[in-house]
Amino acid sequence: MSPANKRQKPWMADVKASAWAATEGIFYRPLTGAVILKVQFQFTRPKSHYGSGKNAGQVKGSAPKYHITKPDLTKLTRAVEDALTGVIWRDDSQVVSQRPTKRYSDAPGALISIIEVD
């Protein structure tokens, strides 16, 4: 399957590389049982969410609390599942529960946790 978004492919490669690095010496082969996937996608707030002048470092009261713009949560989660196939698990069909979230953060990226439930 080819990603619909051209920026998705390099991002998926980064997820895969980070998974390899994080599991080095831990997993000898991909998991084969059921897993729970938790992912917190973190996005940098746009400059328009911040005040100006003496309030330049403060988030405006009118700024949205949640990241409700694209990309959508389903596509982000699917990209993580695909990137981790063959590294963390054999197939993304092993994911029996997902707990994805999107939020604003000073540290953009994705915090990923996998829980083996078998």
pLDDT digits (tens, 9 = 90+) for 24-48: 877 668 999 999 999 999 999 999 9
pLDDT recorded at residue 4: 59
Residue 1 has what pLDDT?
46
pLDDT band at 3 (very low <50, low <70, confident <90, very high): low
DSSP-derived secondary structure for the chain: ---SSTTHHHHHHHHHHHHHHHHTTT-SS-B-S-EEEEEEEEEPPPGGGB--GGGTTSB-TTS-SS--SSSPHHHHHHHHHHHHBTTTBS-GGGEEEEEEEEEE-SS-EEEEEEEE--
**pTM, two decimal places:** 0.87
